Structure 1
Amino acid sequence: MQKSLHIDPSKCTSCLQCEMACSFENYGVFNNSLSRIKVFDFHHTGAKVPYTCTQCDEAWCMHACPVEAIKLDKDNGAKVVFEDVCVGCKVCTIACPFGTVNYVAETGKVQKCDLCGGNPACAEACPTGAITYVDANWTGLDRMRQWADKLGNQAA
């Protein structure tokens, strides 16, 4: 069963626990700037929306990488950056239409969500259930694919 992060912005209180959990899981420190998930604040409406890599099937980042530093984790479907292979060219950051692959100046490499190996710290830390890790079918992924196919998303 493929799983994915499901984000419900209406439940987000902007507590930033997801960002803190992510940075601690990946770097061992509580530092929002190191987080692979961000809470975007729409100042005009007051809405808060967590966003991170959607692990899309198209995987533009993975296909654009000239050194194949981004690989598919077959166990959880995450597209994972292998830092020892990454040369920091940033092509993947340009290829990602969602802006969720980020260059880290300190390391000269890129980072993105890797679903924490199948147990996302952000979902575990979210006190309101705004971020959950659920069966991908429940998130409506298949319905979105069907709708996209109706709009001409078929392979040529």
Structure 2
Amino acid sequence: MLRSLHIIPDKCTGCLQCEMACSFEHEGVFNIAKSRIKVFDFHHAGRKVPYTCTQCAEAWCLHACPVEAIKMDAATGAKVVVDSICVGCKVCTIACPFGTVNYNADTGKVIKCDLCGGKPACAEACPTGAITYIDANWTGLERMRTWAARTDTQPRASA
């Protein structure tokens, strides 16, 4: 069973615990600049919304990588950056339509959500339940894919 992060924006208070937990999990420091999840601040609306890699089926980042440094984790379905292969060219950051693949200047590599190997630190740290890790079917992912397939009228390049 595939699981995915489920984000409920209305529950987010902007506490940044998800960002802190993520940076500590991956970098060993509490530094929101090094987090793979971000909390976007909609100033005018007075709302905060967490966002991170959606592990999309199309995986533009994975397909764009010229050295094949992004692999799919069979256990979680996450598209994971393999540091030992990544050359830091940033092509995947350009390919991601959601802006959730970022460059880490300290390492010269890219970073993105890897679902923490199936135990996302962001979801565990969220005190309000704005971020949960649930069965992918409960997120409506499959319904979104079905709807997208019906409404997709764009021509596709064949491989």
**TM-score of the two chains, using structure 1 as the length reference:** 0.97
Where do 5+ consecutive residues of structure 2 fail to align? none
CA distance in 1 between counterparts of 2:70 and 2:152 reads 28
Structure 2 counterpart of 1:148, which letter? A
What is aligned with 1:151?
Answer: 151
The verdict on how the C-alpha distance between 1:121 and 1:153 changes in structure 2, with shifts beyond 3 A counting, is farther
Give the CA deviation at 1:153.
6.3
What is aligned with 2:111?
Answer: 111
CA distance in 2 between counterparts of 1:147 and 1:117 reads 29
Moved more, 103-112 or 70-79: 103-112
Give the CA deviation at 1:152.
2.4
Output aligned runs, 1:7-156, within 5 Å: 7-152=7-152
Where do 5+ consecutive residues of structure 1 fail to align? none
Structure 1 counterpart of 2:92, which letter? C
Deviations 1:16-51 (A, max 9, x none): 000000011011111111100000000010110000
Structure 1 counterpart of 2:19, which letter? E
Task: Give the ranges of 4+ consecutive aligned residues of structure 1 lying more than 4 Å apart after TM superposition.
Answer: 153-156
CA distance in 1 between counterparts of 2:141 and 2:60 reads 17
RMSD: 1.3
SS in 2 for 1:107: coil
Paired-residue identity, %: 77
Structure 2 counterpart of 1:100, which letter? T
The verdict on how the C-alpha distance between 1:16 and 1:28 changes in structure 2, with shifts beyond 3 A counting, is same
CA distance in 2 between counterparts of 1:27 and 1:151 reads 41
- The number of residue pairs the alignment matches comes to 156
**TM-score of the two chains, using structure 2 as the length reference:** 0.95
